[in-house]
Structure formats: structure tokens, C-alpha cells
Amino acid sequence: MNLEQTVTALSTQNEQFKQENDQLKAVLGIIQENRDLRATVQGFIGADDSQVCACSIRTKPSILLQTTFEEKQFRNYLQQPKAKHMQKTSSPIDLSSFILNSLHTDKTESQSCQTDIPCEVKEPERLLGEIAYQLDRRILSYVFQGYKRLYGFTLRNIPDKIIEVSTHPLSGKVDEGYQHHLNRRYGHIMKRLVQLGYKTALHPPLAEFIVNTYGILMERPTDNSIQYMELNNPEFLKRHVTAVAPIQLKKELLLFLSCLCNMAEKDKKPLLLW
């Protein structure tokens, strides 16, 4: 490859990363607008909590809570340089009708929640974070095969960690063969996931955001139990994401699930590994 071709390839890759970064900022911007708008609606509703429909399973998954994220978590993301959003949500012209529509939507989606989500999932929002977390761990375990402890390893620092683990801590000598092996595994898995729609600049930080927002499952199912089989059923997880996830994150979470299913199919292991 000559110099001109190299420059062209790098320019194309740089433009791709820029577009993916803009998409991430757009998603975060939409979530923030949704949060602010619902906070305003909640102020109009006041103390009349009886009008807000809540899901009757043993959780806290009202649609209002699903789309209202902690201010501190947003602040960390909003400190990054702002860019023009690719799309914006429109503010309602008639606020009173918007409130009625919101309540109707919450009621409809809560009824759907009752139908689709079984009682065994005690913290349905945490399962969203678990899906994102499991995909991250699956990718890291694939790249750093044989490593049982992955503390400090993230998808965003994989290149640095490859250099770190292939360099002798005392002599500083680099095991080039091992480094090449890790880079090849990293490139292989990323190529496979990119074909499914995964974007290396967008989805790693978005997955971290989802895990930090929702957390992960606190209670792990017993092997071969009914809950264990449900949580490892792709169709069950797909219905769960569709019923519980905020609309702004639903597409990306379904993509995470698709990538997770692909990896589980290849390595012949359950979807969720503990």
C-alpha cells in the first residue's frame, strides 16, 4: 500500500469514527431531553401520584423511572465537547394534552410489562445492564483468552492492555508473537461484530453508560433452574428488552443481544456466563 492509499484509508476511518461519535452524542442528547421533559411533566402532575401508572410486578419499572437517569451520570457525559445533534425531540405544543398522552402511554406499556415480564425477574431494569455487561465481558474474554481476572480491562482500553500484557513488567521486553496473537483475536472478533452492526467508537462507551445507569443482576439464577433457562433464552431476552428498555436505547440493546447470541453460538456456551 503506497502513501496515498494509506492517507485515503486513514481519512475514511477517521470520518467513520467522527460519525459514530456524533451518533453517540445524539443518543445521549435525546435521553437528556427526554429526562428534562419528563421532569417538567412530573412537576405539572404534582402530588397526584395516583395518575402515574406503575408496573405491578415486584419492581420499580415505571416508564418514567426507566427514562429518568441520575443527574450525576449525565453530567459526566455532558462535560465532553458538544456537537450538533443529528436529531432532536420536539417539545409538545399543548402541554396538557401531552401529559394525558404520556399517562396513557405509561398505562399501555405497564400493561405490556405485566404480560411479557414474568415475576422471576425481580429487577427487570438490571437485566438491561446485565446484557450490556455480559457482551463486554464476552469480548474481553475472547481477546484475552485464559485470563480469569479482567479487573481494569474495558473495551475502550483493549489496545493499551494488549501492549501491557505482552510486555515483561521488569525488563520491558515485548513479546511480539503474543502481542500479534492478541491483536489478531481482537481484530477477528471486532470484524465479526461490525458485520452485525456493532460500532467500535459508539457502542463500548454506550455499554458502559447502560451498565452504570441500570447496574447488573444482584441475584444470579441457580444452574438448570427455570429462571436460568429463561435468562439464556434469546426470545425471552428479546421480549424483555422490547418491553422494558427506553425507546432511545431499545435498538442498541437489541443489537447487544444479537452480538451476544452470535458469540454464544460460536463458542457453544450459555448466553449469560457467571
Strand, helix or coil for residue 128? helix
208 and 262 share one domain: yes
Q: 227-274 pLDDT, tens per residue?
A: 899 999 999 999 999 999 999 999 999 999 999 999 999 999 999 988
Count of the separate structural domains present in the chain: 2
> What DSSP line would sit under 180-197, residue for residue?
HHHHHHHHHHHHHHHTTT
163 and 49 share one domain: no
Q: What mean pLDDT comes out for the span 82-111?
A: 40
Q: Which pLDDT score, from 0 to 100, does residue 47 have?
A: 46
Of the three residues 65, 89, 116, the one that is the final residue of a domain is: 116
Range 228-231 contact pairs with CB under 8 angstroms and sequence separation of 24 or more: 230/118, 230/120, 230/121, 231/127, 231/271, 231/272
Is the residue at 272 inside a domain? no
Q: Which pLDDT score, from 0 to 100, does residue 113 have?
A: 44
137 and 185 share one domain: yes
Rg (CA), the chain: 21
219 and 258 share one domain: yes
Of the three residues 78, 100, 116, the one that is the final residue of a domain is: 116
150 and 91 share one domain: no
Q: Which pLDDT score, from 0 to 100, does residue 224 have?
A: 83
Is the residue at 274 inside a domain? no
- What is the rounded CA–CA span in Å between residue 215 and residue 28? 18
Q: Which pLDDT score, from 0 to 100, does residue 148 have?
A: 82
95 pLDDT higher than 50: no
16 — pLDDT class (breaks 50, 70, 90): confident
Q: What mean pLDDT comes out for the span 12-28?
A: 71
Is the residue at 145 inside a domain? yes
Residue ranges making up the domain that contains 195: 124-267
131 and 159 share one domain: yes
Is the residue at 8 inside a domain? no
